[in-house]
Amino acid sequence: MANNVDKQNVTRGGVWETAKTIVYAILLAIVIRSLAFEPFNIPSGSMIPNLLVGDYLFVSKYSYGYSKHSLPFSPPLFSDRFMGKAPERGDVAVFKLPRDNDTDYIKRVVGMPGDRVQMVKGRVKINGTIVQRKRIENFIDFRVGKSWPQYVEQLPNGREYRIIEQFGDFSPLDNTGVYVVPKGHYFMMGDNRDNSADSRVQRGTDRVGFVPLENFVGRAEVIFFSTDGSSSIWEIWKWIPAIRFGRFFRIIQ
């Protein structure tokens, strides 16, 4: 009988230890996700050529401090930001879409609080000065078998990055009025200028508008995995050819 009791205790102890290990692992994952890094994937082409559909990246949660949106499901535990730090012009950042405070968007910080931003024939104009850009080789989009005009754009603080203009400099969002960025808000734009719903869209069902600091989730840091989407989950034999190994550990500019 004693042996049976001992076996039962060992079994129960083993189950309890396993359960505790799982709980600790979950809690650790939540802490890391909330305070340090959170993985995101790119589902759309609005940040081409710098981020491609199928890229997986890490976002640093500590870069801008913490708000309710730093936590899973954005619980209303506190307002504003704790240990807040302002985004820098040129950062690629994940934020909660202001119109629903739920959907994750990723764009580039182009306009700072108080800036006057305008698009003039495809060129960004900040506080009356046209942002410099330089034509480089076309970007080849292998998904659709086409190439697009590509430029290197330089913001007033010296940050450089690539953009594309799929339809030239005369698409609907290439000529706009002047946007005055409110205090505590930021003007966000996609690097794929003709295929991005961003702060230029101020009305309608696709509106993004100005993004308040509270809505920032974190800064995009590095791509850790990438797939071109050509294989389904069950097509094991296609997994390796679909992986874009050349994009692994690429720092996001």
E-only strand ranges, the chain: 37-41, 55-60, 92-96, 104-111, 116-120, 123-126, 129-130, 132-141, 146-154, 160-164, 179-180, 185-189, 211-212, 216-226, 250-251
> Among residues 46, 70, 196, 199, which one is catalytic?
46
Structure tokens at 167: 């339809």
- Does residue 125 have an active-site annotation? no
Structure tokens at 127: 């506080």
Residue 174: count of CB within 10 angstroms of its CB: 18
Write phi, then psi, for 96 (nearest 5 degrees).
-85, 130
**Token pair 């800064």 in the structure block, residue:** 219
Structure tokens at 115: 């800036």
> Among residues 61, 68, 96, 107, which one is catalytic?
107
CB neighbour list of residue 71: distance below 8 Å, 6 or more residues apart = 34, 77
- Does residue 107 have an active-site annotation? yes
List the one residue out of 233, 224, 212, 239 whose CA is nearest residue 67.
Answer: 212
**Token pair 């802490």 in the structure block, residue:** 31
**Cα–Cα distance between 7 and 20 in angstroms, integer?**
20
Write phi, then psi, for 246 (nearest 5 degrees).
-65, -15
* Region label for 132, one of left (φ > 0), alpha (ψ between -120 and 50) or beta (otherwise): beta
Catalytic site positions: 46, 107
